[in-house]
Amino acid sequence: MRQLVFPLLLCVAFFASAQTVDQQIASKHKRLEQIQQESKTILTELEELQMAWIREQLDKLDYPKSSTDYEIVKHSALTLGYAEEHEQAAWVQHVVIPEVEFANVSRTNDFRPDSLVSTGSAVEQDYFLKEILPDGEMKYDGFGYDRGHLAPSADFRWSQKALSESYFYSNMSPQKPEFNRERWAELESWIRTYVIDFKEPVFVVTGPVLKDGLPKQGQDSVSIPAQFYKIVLDLTGDEHKAIAFLMPNDHCAYPVSGYVTSVDEIEKLTGLDFFSSLDDTEEAKLEAMNSIDGWIHSENNEFGEVSPLKPPLPKGYFNTLQAKYKVGEKTNICGTVVATKKSRKEAIYLNFDQKYPRNVFYATIWKNNQNNFSFDPEKEFLGKTICVFGKVEFYNDQARISINREEQVSYWDDVIGEND
C-alpha cells in the first residue's frame, strides 16, 4: 500500500503544478493584453501631441502672404491656401518629423473632396471619369495626368488621421506620370532622408506655379501647372538653412540637385511672400540660399550628389547642365568629379556632379590616352572640381567629352583665379 502512496502524491503534485502553470500563462496573457492596450493608448496620445505640436509650429511660422485672397484651410498636420480659380492649392505647408523613419501606416488611397474648402474643392471627376460597361467591368477615362500629392502621403505615415487627410483633393494637382513618379518622388524621398539622417524636423512648402492661361481638365476646370516648387526650411539648432527646388511638370532629365534655386526666385515667380514672420535679417539670409551643400549627411555622401556650378561661369566655361546645349562644339565643361570607374576595356569614366546613372555629363579617358597623364587620373580627379575641354558629344542621353591628355583639364580654383 505504501508503494502506491508516493506515485499517487506525485500525480497530484503534477496536476496541481500543471494547473498553476496554466494559471500563470493566462495571467501573462492578460497582462500582455493590458500592456498592449496601454501601449495603444500611449501611441494615440503621442500622435495627438505630435499633431498639436505641428499645428503650433505651423501657426507660429505663419503662412505665405499674397495679394491674391487664397482661402486658408487648416487640417491636423498640414495647412493650405486654396486657389478657387485653379481648383487646387497655391501652396501647402507641413512639417516632416523624424518619426517618419519608423512610420508604418499603410496608404489609404481615400481620395475625396475637402469639406473645409468653403467654395468646394476639386473632385474625382476632375482627374478621371468612370463608366460601368454592360459586362460589369469598370472603364476609366483619364486625362493623362496623375492625382499628384503636393504634401506627399509618405510624410504622414506616422499617423492614420494625418495620412488620410493628405488624400483630400485640395492637396492634389495634375502631374504628368513621368514627373510625379520619378524625379518629384525622388525629391520627396530626399527630404525624408535628410530628416532621418539629421534627426531634425523641417518645414516644407509645396505648390504649383499658378498663372492665367493654364490649360484645364475635368468638370471643374482644374488648371494644369507647367511647374512645381518645393521649399525646405530647417530652423533646428543654431545653423538655420533653407533650400528651394523648381521642376517642370514633365520628364526631368537632371538630378534633383539640378533643380535647386532660392526662395527669393520662387517668390518672384509666384508672387508669394514666404516666412515673413521671421526676423527680417534672418529671412533675407535664408531666402537667398541656393546651395545643396549641408543638406546631405556626410556618411551618405562621400563624393556624392553636389549642385552643378551656378551660372554664369567665366566666358567660355559652362556647367554640366548646360553641356547638352553645346553638343558638337569644343568648349569647357566644369563640375565636381563625384565618382570614377575603370571599364573592362580599361577606359576611365569621370562622373560629374552626380553618380551614374543619374549624371547628365561625364568625361572619358580611353586606355591608349592614359599614358599622356603624369598621374593616375582616376585617383587624382576624384572629389575635385575641374573643367574639361573638348568636343561635346551626346551618347545615351548624356553629354560627354573625351580627354586625350592632361592639358585638357584645368582646376576650377585656377579658372576662378585667372578670371578674378
d(CA 229, CA 145): 18
Angle, helix 263-270 to helix 280-288, in steps of 10 degrees = 90
DSSP string, 359-410: -SEEEEE-GGGGGG-SS-HHHHSTT-EEEEEEEBEEETTEEEEE--SGGGEE
Look at strands 78-83 and 88-96 and give their pairing. Answer: antiparallel
**Are 227 and 214 spatial neighbours (Cβ–Cβ below 8 Å)?**
no
Q: How far apart are CA 271 and CA 280, in angstroms?
A: 18
- State how far the alpha carbon of 63 is from the alpha carbons of 123, 159, 205, 229, in Å: 25, 23, 9, 16
State how far the Cα of 263 lies from the Cα of 244, in Å rounded to an integer: 6
Q: Judge contact between 97 and 178, C-beta under 8 A.
A: no
- Which helix (DSSP H) or strand (DSSP E) does residue 230 occupy? strand 227-234
Contact in structure between 76 and 55 (CB atoms under 8 Å): yes
Grid cell of 20 as nine digits:
498553476
Give CA angle at 63 (250, 286), nearest 5°. Answer: 75
How big is the chain by its Cα radius of gyration, in Å?
29
Question: Grid coordinates in use for 155?
Answer: 510624410
Q: Are 307 and 243 in contact (CB under 8 A)?
A: no
Find the catalytic residue in 149, 240, 251, 297: 149
User: Rounded to an integer, what distance in angstroms lies between the CA atom of residue 344 and that of residue 258?
Assistant: 30
297 carries an active-site annotation: no
Residue 244 near residue 227 (C-beta atoms within 8 A): no
Q: Which residues are catalytic?
A: 149
